[in-house]
Structure 1
């Protein structure tokens, strides 16, 4: 079935790794705050403050970090991800903050960080009071009685991730940025970073997560993916791309994106499997003939699955289609 909230899922998966979270937080938080904390003690906390009915569509994360000498013993960092403008953002954060403070045995500071990568510019206001839209005289009158707090905003559109030291973090941000405008040049840049990361650190898990995300949020045709691999990248990247696509194909997670586009108008799951198998084969072996497409379309689901499993190891297209006894 189609994947819901791919942006949230990708962000949560990446930042759930302590090393990635540490690199990102140290890059975006204000310098005085960074210098006051012992980052070696960063850990992820259970996000029990999220409503159960929002849990599957939320990427909110909560981290705790010990303070250095002279600072509070522990502070908390609330991470909120937004891929579109939310006029009630601060009100949502207020609800989360109230639950976090209520769960603390001893009150400790909570700093909110909002990661925004939507298309529309984010408004300048970054405080709860800004959402009330009070005239100046009313702000002065009611401010002593209204909860007010600010939050740190990281707006991807205004960031310079190419200057950051962490290659994994640059890849993560480049993938999110390319999803806003998925033209081939941007995607090729993402693949170059992925290739570099594989060569330098063999971080297959990160690259796999990036590829899953790109396959889900872009709508490129097989020939376009093939063009992105010319000039060729490393065999490791090509193998990771094919194995990732194969995994998604077997799980049926892309069928909703390809439904309605295959020749012959075969309905439902068959339609999705057919077109995605074509995508796999073209990425691996080049353009398919009309006869090859017809063969795929007429095959049984079991046969298509068997062919998909051979894509990674077959030397030629004929090897994929070869009958086994």
Structure 2
């Protein structure tokens, strides 16, 4: 494919939405020690203040959370989490520095946890420290390597934790970089697994979004996958994924516009470049409005057809959040 696979958004959203499940899957010992009944709090702005001067290479996620322990102490501690997407020589040192900076800020214990999502089998940082003149200072931190799950794919398919599926998607994406047909087959198998788990609608949509963003497909295979999903949802009587506009669920308003523009440009070549772009944007907007609000009236279709590029772009910006068609077209 032309663009490299980039997981920042889906990893971050999956961790935020299913943080206890994330800790349970990758760090089960830590999960058992946390009192989840007390809740947890993300402190992203505070983390930014601490790590703003650091260069960590390709990070998928960096999070700071405040959690309570189950040891009877009733104290709150801090969990610093990194999902690192590339091998980086200074990574362990940075974990050491962050851990100390966070302790210095809060004067509370800080647990630093790392998920290594890179493709270098021998890169396994899990400690950093120094000893000088009888003084020793060291941080040892749990580090999970996603490549280590490569030979456990059968178990991952059986594991009901959402991050078993996310891990599978990561491994299968890496394994199918050069074979889009194989990626299509792997992605379709994971999509079917979503509906077999008995998860609620929102969880299916959330995890489909992760799969869809990770396991990118060429346009033709993408259309085939969406056809399969439509058939599956009809059979299972579950209007989950197809009830949400494809453009929105892909976080792809822009991508949808580009797809529509490509069609519009093909149709509008004889009518000039600007006309083709307008047709493309009108096509993308029409699809989005139909998914959100149902069949469009002749008046609305005519309005889309006659609109300028500026008007279409304004309506596209409103279309994902508006409560009604009137809200889209409000003056």
Give the CA deviation at 1:242.
7.2
Counterpart for residue 59 of structure 1: 61
Corresponding residue number in structure 2 for 1:127: 127
1:46 aligns with 2:25: no
1:135 alignment counterpart: none
Tell me how far apart the structure 2 counterparts of residues 38 and 187 of structure 1 sit (CA, whole Å): 35
Deviation at 1:92, TM superposition (A): 1.6
Query: How far 1:248 moved relative to its partner?
Result: 6.4
Superposed, which structure 2 residues align to 1:165-244 within 5 Å? 165-166=160-161, 168-182=162-176, 183-197=183-197, 200-204=198-202, 206-228=203-225, 229-230=227-228, 232-235=231-234, 240-241=241-242, 243-244=244-245
Give the conservation status (yes or no) of the 8 Å contact 1:6–1:213: no
Query: Could you tell me how far 1:156 is from its partner in structure 2?
Result: 1.8
SS at match of 1:68: coil
Superposition deviation, residue 306 in structure 1: 4.0
Aligned twin of 1:111: 111
Q: Is contact 2:260–2:283 with CA below 8 Å preserved after alignment?
A: yes
Q: 1:254 to 1:217 in 2, by over 3 A?
A: farther
Q: 1:237, CA displacement in angstroms?
A: 6.8
Q: Which residue of 2 aligns with 1:303?
A: 282
- Please report how far the alpha carbon of residue 151 of structure 1 lies from its aligned counterpart in structure 2 after TM superposition: 1.2
State the aligned residue count. 276
The answer as to 2:141 corresponding to 1:147 is no
Q: Which runs of 5+ in 2 are unaligned?
A: 177-182, 304-331
Question: Which secondary structure does the structure 1 equivalent of 2:138 belong to?
Answer: coil
Q: Distance in 1 between matches of 2:276 and 2:172?
A: 32
1:84/1:277 CA distance change after superposition, 3 Å: farther
Partner secondary structure for residue 132 of structure 2: helix
Please point out which of 263, 271, 274 is paired with 2:261: 274
Measured in 2, the distance between the counterparts of 1:144 and 1:275 equals 68
* Cα 1:307/1:148, change in 2 over 3 Å: same
1:239 positional shift:
6.0
Deviation at 1:101, TM superposition (A): 0.7
Partner of 2:317: none
SS in 2 for 1:300: helix
**What's 1:26 paired with?**
24
- Tell me how far 1:201 sits from its aligned partner: 3.2
Q: Is the 8 A contact 1:72 1:108 kept in 2?
A: no
In structure 2, distance between residues paired with 1:67 and 1:277: 57
Q: What is the Cα deviation at residue 207 of structure 1?
A: 3.6
**Deviation at 1:81?**
0.8
Per the TM alignment, residue 301 of structure 1 is displaced from its structure 2 partner at its CA by 4.4
Deviation at 1:304, TM superposition (A): 1.9
Q: Which one scores higher on RCO, CA 8 angstroms, separation ≥ 6?
A: 1
Aligned-partner Cα distance in 1 for 2:88–2:167: 21
What is residue 101 of structure 1 aligned with on the other side?
103
Structure 1 residue 191 displacement after superposition = 0.9
Distance 1:100 1:276, change over 3 A: farther
CA distance in 1: counterparts of 2:115 and 2:251, whole angstroms: 32
Structure 1, unaligned stretches of length 5 or more? 130-138, 256-268, 279-289
Q: CA RMSD in A?
A: 4.4
Q: Secondary structure at the match of 1:119?
A: coil
For the structure 1 residues 248 and 292, does the alpha-carbon distance in structure 2 shift closer, same or farther, using more than 3 Å as the test?
A: farther
CA contact (8 A) 1:250 1:305 kept: no
